[in-house]
């Protein structure tokens, strides 16, 4: 028989055997020891600035923002062959140039045809009309030199105003390089210079850290380079950013931004050695980058600050979801080379 308590509702007293059967409580949880919850132990965590002034941002923090933006574009794009075929007859960044060239060509043809017709008509008119002796001109010359007598008063004859010269025929537009390649082929040749046969063995973070170690640059140069590449890849879709061309795009963008924004720049040979390319190849990359950007290299303060705010908003999301970037690829309208160790990425 089980023992009963004197009063109903009161709990029974536990014996020693029942107390020994109760398991021990688990230790309190420690979230920092769980590897699935730790997000601070990254290889190179981006520095998220807390200030609101872009001029107080350190160059290293701006370099981290540039690296994070390039990595996000690479994850969105994926791997693309080194020589992608053109998908359209004209590309968005070259559309205005092609239209202007076609307009000049059509206007030149019209002007040439009209000038030929006017010349033929003038020749026919001069051949049909007989020549007359210039008697009227002699009479007018003699009469204009002597005063005329009217009612005993000598009046001086006023000379008639000379007629305005006939308008000159418009000169035809001459297109230099009429037999040049189409715009899309030129664009493909420019973008092909940034591609490598194999992805470089160094990452974007390490590559930028190497450049910043030997050729440190300012905050504006890093942010402007990020803005240039973002325009080309997202707004204009002129070139996709992949593992094969990201390093050359960054190197060319830094070189162009430093020349456009800074008073002084590093020697050409030093930048080429630090970047791992030859002097000739760096010059080609720089010129090709200027043509891709349509020589729109001037960056204003408000534009640079807006792009900086966009990069700041994307940094926390990359820490939590590193595989899901926040950049959008929605198309927006825009009407508004030597062998050796230096050339190891060819």
Provide the pLDDT for residue 320.
38
Contact 82, 192 (CB under 8 A): yes
What's the CA gap between 158 and 152, in Å, rounded? 18
Q: How far apart are CA 250 and CA 215, in angstroms?
A: 14
57-74+186-318: CATH class? mainly alpha
Q: Which residues of 83-105 are buried (b: 16+ CB within 10 A; e: fewer)?
A: eeeeeeebbbbbeeeeeeeeeee
Contacts of 346 (CB under 8 A, 6+ apart): 196, 197, 337
Check if the beta carbon of residue 268 is closer than 8 Å to that of residue 286: no
DSSP 236-259: S-SS---TTTHHHHHHHHHHHHHH
Tell me the residue ranges of DSSP E strands in the chain. 148-150, 153-155
Classify residue 121 as exposed, middle or buried by CB count within 10 Å of its CB (0-12, 13-18, 19+).
exposed
- Report d(CA 207, CA 224) in Å as an integer: 18
Contact 246, 74 (CB under 8 A): yes
Question: What are the residue ranges spanned by the domains of the chain?
Answer: 57-74+186-318
Regions of the chain where pLDDT drops below 50: 1, 5, 7, 41, 45, 49, 89-93, 136-143, 317-346
Is-above-0.85 flag for pTM? no
**According to the model, what pLDDT value does residue 90 have?**
45
Contact at 8 Å (CB) between 190 and 291? yes
Dist CA 45 CA 32 (whole Å): 17
- Residues 291/239, Cβ–Cβ less than 8 Å: no
- 261-282 burial: b if 16+ Cβ within 10 Å, else e: beeebbeeeebbbbbbbbbebb
Tokens, residue 218: 């300012």
**What integer pLDDT is reported at residue 217 of this predicted model?**
94
**Terminal Cα-to-Cα distance of the chain (whole angstroms):** 91
Q: How far apart are CA 85 and CA 280, in angstroms?
A: 26
């Amino acid at each position: 028989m089980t023992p009963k308590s004197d009063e109903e509702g009161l709990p029974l007293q536990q014996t020693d055997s029942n107390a020994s059967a109760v398991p021990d409580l688990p230790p309190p949880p420690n979230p920092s020891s769980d590897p699935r919850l730790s997000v601070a132990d990254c290889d190179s965590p981006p520095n998220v600035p807390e200030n609101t002034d872009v001029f107080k941002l350190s160059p290293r923090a701006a370099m981290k923002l540039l690296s994070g933006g390039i990595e996000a574009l690479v994850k969105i794009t994926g791997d693309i062959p080194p020589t992608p075929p053109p998908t359209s007859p004209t590309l968005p960044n070259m559309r205005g140039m092609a239209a202007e060239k076609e307009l000049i060509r059509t206007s030149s043809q019209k002007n040439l045809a009209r000038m030929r017709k006017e010349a033929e008509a003038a020749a026919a008119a001069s051949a049909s009309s007989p020549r007359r002796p210039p008697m009227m001109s002699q009479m007018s010359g003699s009469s204009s030199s002597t005063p005329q007598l009217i009612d005993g008063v000598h009046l001086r004859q006023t000379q008639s105003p000379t007629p305005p010269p006939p308008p000159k025929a418009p000169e035809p537009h001459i297109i230099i390089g009429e037999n040049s390649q189409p715009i899309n082929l030129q664009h493909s040749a420019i973008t092909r210079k940034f591609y490598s046969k194999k992805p470089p063995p160094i990452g974007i973070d390490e590559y930028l850290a190497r450049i910043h170690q030997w050729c440190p640059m300012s905050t504006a140069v890093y942010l402007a380079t990020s803005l240039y590449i973002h325009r080309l890849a997202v707004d204009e879709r002129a070139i996709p950013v992949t593992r094969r061309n990201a390093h050359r795009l960054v190197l060319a963008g830094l070189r162009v931004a430093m020349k456009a924004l800074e008073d002084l720049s590093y020697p050409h040979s030093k930048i080429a050695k630090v970047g791992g390319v030859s002097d000739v190849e760096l010059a080609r990359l720089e010129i090709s980058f200027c043509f891709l950007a349509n020589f729109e290299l001037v960056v204003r303060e408000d534009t640079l600050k807006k792009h900086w705010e966009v990069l700041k908003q994307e940094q926390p999301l990359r820490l939590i979801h590193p595989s899901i970037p926040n950049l959008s690829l929605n198309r927006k309208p825009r009407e508004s080379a030597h062998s050796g160790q230096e050339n190891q990425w060819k």
